[in-house]
Amino acid sequence: MTRWRDPKKDPRQEKKSNLITPQGFDRLQGIHDHLSRVKRPQLSTKVGEAAALGDRSENADYTYNKKELNRVIARIRYLRKRLDELQVVDRLPADTGKVYFGAYVTLEDDNGEELCVRLVGHDETDTAKHWISVDAPLARALLGKALDDDVVVAAPGGETHYIVTDIRYTDRDLQ
């Protein structure tokens, strides 16, 4: 039996915030520039060379490079549009004792285990670094919390309880 996801409840369709850190914006801008100035011209040259060889219907080099070129062009178009939409957050919040965008937050669960996360924009999430989207359920539960505040997050296995044990806005301890 096929289960259909209700489009009204589909998390992929939810409106994402347009916030980003200066470092995240620079990284996206760098990717856009590399694709535009290096990758696209290289692929255009390869496609032109492969097309000059004759019959394109049986030319695997032409077919592959043409598909790759179209993929790169689509990515450049997406990045250009996305970069225009983004709002760079380059200031600390007025109250650095509370959790806002860009914060590194250390949490302790009921078992005494620590979890350190950073609240970042949708475009810069990184599970290896524990950088979570400001739109994620945990991040939404953390926004506005202060030290020693309780945080309850609905998880697939039930509710998870945390206590905020540290809030900072620099990555000095993560080097």
Shared domain for 110 and 162, answered yes or no, is yes
Confidence band, pLDDT 50/70/90 cuts, at residue 54: confident
Q: Pick the residue with more confidence: 5 or 45?
A: 45
Which residues face 133 on adjacent strands?
120
Boundaries of domain holding 143: 104-174
Shared domain for 34 and 73, answered yes or no, is yes
Q: Which residue has the tokens 């359920």?
A: 137
Rounded CA-CA distance 96/168 in Å is 7
Confirm if 120 and 105 have CB atoms less than 8 A apart.
no
Residue 47 lies in a domain: yes
For residue range 145-155, what is the model confidence (pLDDT) as tens digits? 999 999 999 87
For residue range 88-116, what is the model confidence (pLDDT) as tens digits? 999 999 999 999 999 999 999 999 999 99
Shared domain for 68 and 22, answered yes or no, is yes
Residue 11 lies in a domain: no
Please tell me the least confidently modeled range out of 6-10, 61-65, 164-168: 6-10
Checking if the pLDDT of 1 tops 50, the result is: no
Rounded CA-CA distance 91/98 in Å is 14
Q: How many domains does the chain have?
A: 2
Shared domain for 68 and 24, answered yes or no, is yes
Burial class (CB in 10 A: 0-12, 13-18, 19+), 164: buried
Shared domain for 83 and 118, answered yes or no, is no
Give the CATH number of the domain where residue 66 resides. 1.10.287.180
**Tell me, what's the pLDDT at 175?**
35
> Which of 88, 118, 143 is at the close of a domain?
88
